């Protein structure tokens, strides 16, 4: 696709999702060289969904359920092994296992369906300011990068394929307690080829951005404050309607519960016109740690 219609960061993400087939049901993916010590969870979800789609014809994913088992190592490839669980008349089921260093780091189950008409209803989209009136995440990060260690500042300010504009941003370096909900506008920085399968893969990638932090908001902590350990444990998505992530979409999230060192979070994704296109649920580790510098 010409560079005039596709931002370089989107092209890089699409390249990451273009898995190498190394056997009939085995695929290999890589991670970006962005200085991160762990693989971003959204990347593994998206790559696993792409691997499943490589074994499915003429059906779209309507739901996926995933577990993060071990941290991913960005310095080595990830192998995705697809189990063709079932091919029915209306539904197809796939299970994908992600492997590094001979061990499972992640698994995903996904269900695909032939197109059908049926009953229709949805929850209403929350009222929010228009995305054009809000500061971008890059602008907010720019204000904070000088207060971070150089290595983290470089990763913190790197270009991202998904543009994000929070409705009520939180100061990640010195957060104050806020309600357990968050809304943000997001869109891909360029056009997305590949039809709905690739749209779904990119939304799966984007759905892991910010959702775990919603459970931390009432407690005045973030992954930058040094007093909390956070990691995704499981992630589920349901796709309701077709969409185009190159257009603005509202990601409305809330966290109804935190307990047992875990935070439970929900999300709904709407088009700018108000159509609910996807729902997300994630539980993550939310473990209280000693603040940096506390030797007690």
- The domains found in the chain, sorted by start residue, are 8-115+137-288 (2.40.160.210)
Q: 170 or 272, which is more confident?
A: 272
199: which 2 tokens? 């749209």
pLDDT value of residue 223:
76
59: which 2 tokens? 């059906």
Query: Of these residues, 208, 222, 246, 255, which one is catalytic?
Result: 208
The share of the chain scoring above pLDDT 90, in percent, equals 77
When pLDDT is averaged across residues 69-83 and rounded to a whole number, the result is 97
Q: Give the 3-state secondary structure of residue 82.
A: strand
Write the pLDDT tens digit of every residue in 221-239: 887 777 889 999 999 999 9
Nearest to 218 by CA among 191, 166, 267, 254: 254
Backbone angles phi, psi at 195, to 5 degrees: 70, -165
pLDDT value of residue 203:
98
- Rounded to whole angstroms, how far apart are CA atoms 258 and 263? 4
Residue 264 · residue 258 · CB < 8 Å: yes
CB atoms under 10 Å from CB of 40, counted, come to 18
pLDDT value of residue 296:
38
**Half-sphere exposure of 266 toward its Cβ, with a 13 Å CA cutoff?**
6
pLDDT value of residue 199:
98
pTM assigned to the model: 0.91
Residue 43 · residue 31 · CB < 8 Å: yes
pLDDT value of residue 291:
56
Radius of gyration of the chain (CA): 19
Does the active-site annotation cover 232? Answer: yes
Residue 119 · residue 95 · CB < 8 Å: no
Nearest to 163 by CA among 197, 183, 135, 182: 135
Question: First CA to last CA across the chain, in angstroms?
Answer: 57
pLDDT value of residue 1:
34
Q: How confident is the model at residue 274 (pLDDT cuts 50, 70, 90)?
A: very high
Residue 284 pLDDT > 70, yes or no? yes
Residue 29 pLDDT > 60, yes or no? yes
Average the pLDDT over each of 137-141, 256-260, 267-271 and give the range with the smallest value. 137-141
pLDDT value of residue 295:
46
Does the active-site annotation cover 139? Answer: no
Backbone angles phi, psi at 261, to 5 degrees: 65, 30
Write the pLDDT tens digit of every residue in 149-204: 666 666 666 778 999 999 998 877 778 899 999 999 999 999 999 999 999 999 99
Residue 204 · residue 237 · CB < 8 Å: yes
Query: Of these residues, 9, 200, 207, 232, which one is catalytic?
Result: 232
- Rounded to whole angstroms, how far apart are CA atoms 268 and 238? 10
Q: How confident is the model at residue 33 (pLDDT cuts 50, 70, 90)?
A: confident
When pLDDT is averaged across residues 4-14 and rounded to a whole number, the result is 77
pLDDT value of residue 149:
61
Query: Of these residues, 6, 43, 47, 282, which one is catalytic?
Result: 282
Does the active-site annotation cover 282? Answer: yes
Q: Please give the DSSP secondary-structure letter assigned to residue 273.
A: T
């Amino acid at each position: 696709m010409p560079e005039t219609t596709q931002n370089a960061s989107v092209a890089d993400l699409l390249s990451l999702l273009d898995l190498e087939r190394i056997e009939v049901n085995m695929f290999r993916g890589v991670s970006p060289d962005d200085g991160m010590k762990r693989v971003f969870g959204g990347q593994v979800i998206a790559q696993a969904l792409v691997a499943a789609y490589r074994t499915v014809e003429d059906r779209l994913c309507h739901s996926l359920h995933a577990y993060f088992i071990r941290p991913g190592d960005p310095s080595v490839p990830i192998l995705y092994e697809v189990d063709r669980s079932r091919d029915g008349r209306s539904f197809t089921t796939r299970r994908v296992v992600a492997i590094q260093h001979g061990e499972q780091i992640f698994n995903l189950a996904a269900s695909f369906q032939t197109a059908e008409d049926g009953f229709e209803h949805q929850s209403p989209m929350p009222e929010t300011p228009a995305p054009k009136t809000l500061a971008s995440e890059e602008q907010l990060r720019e204000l904070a990068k000088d207060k971070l260690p150089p290595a983290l500042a470089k990763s913190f300010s790197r270009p991202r394929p998904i543009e994000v504009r929070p409705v009520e941003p939180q100061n990640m370096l010195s957060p104050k307690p806020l309600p357990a909900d968050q809304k943000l506008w997001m869109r891909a920085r360029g056009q997305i080829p590949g039809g709905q399968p690739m749209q779904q893969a990119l939304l799966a990638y984007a759905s892991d951005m910010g959702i775990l932090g919603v459970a931390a908001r009432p407690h005045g902590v973030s992954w930058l404050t040094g007093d909390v350990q956070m990691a995704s444990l499981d992630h589920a998505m349901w796709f309701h309607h077709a969409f185009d992530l190159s257009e603005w979409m509202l990601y409305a999230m809330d966290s109804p519960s935190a307990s047992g060192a875990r935070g439970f979070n929900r999300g709904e994704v709407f088009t700018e016109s108000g159509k609910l296109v996807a729902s997300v649920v994630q539980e993550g580790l939310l473990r209280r740690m000693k603040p940096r510098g506390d030797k007690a």
